[in-house]
Amino acid sequence: MVTRIVKLHFQENKVTPFLTFFDSVCEVINNFPGCYGMKLYQDVSNPCIVLTYSHWKDQKALNSYRESKEFGVIWPNIKPWFQEKPEAWTVNTYFDGFNATSS
């Protein structure tokens, strides 16, 4: 499994349109074959910054999404709204304290 983290910094007047658009497409991404789930985070200090956090079966599944017609519709819609160039990382889990149990 791989995790994809993408930082998106939107123009201030595009945050609300993005969130509205995201609500209309989030299930398409979340239910894409090979996607094990996705979250959207919004920075508390700067609401113009959002991060997507998604789990994928493997790099091949992530690449299938990135080459899909769905991505080909979603990305061009939001790309003009960016304040800064997006940043993205595909990572493996080294430690997962969320699964730890307390005594």
Q: What is the DSSP letter of 48?
A: T
The residue length of the chain stands at 103
pLDDT digits (tens, 9 = 90+) for 44-69: 999 999 999 999 999 999 999 999 99
pLDDT digits (tens, 9 = 90+) for 66-102: 999 999 999 999 999 999 999 999 999 999 888 766 5
pLDDT value of residue 99? 73
pTM attached to this predicted model:
0.90
Instruction: CATH number for 2-95: choose from 3.30.1320.10, 1.20.1530.20, 3.30.70.100, 3.30.460.10.
Output: 3.30.70.100
Q: Domain limits of the chain?
A: 2-95
pLDDT digits (tens, 9 = 90+) for 6-38: 999 999 999 999 999 999 999 999 999 999 999
Q: Which two tokens stand for residue 70?
A: 């769905």
Give the integer Cα–Cα distance in Å for 92 and 16: 32
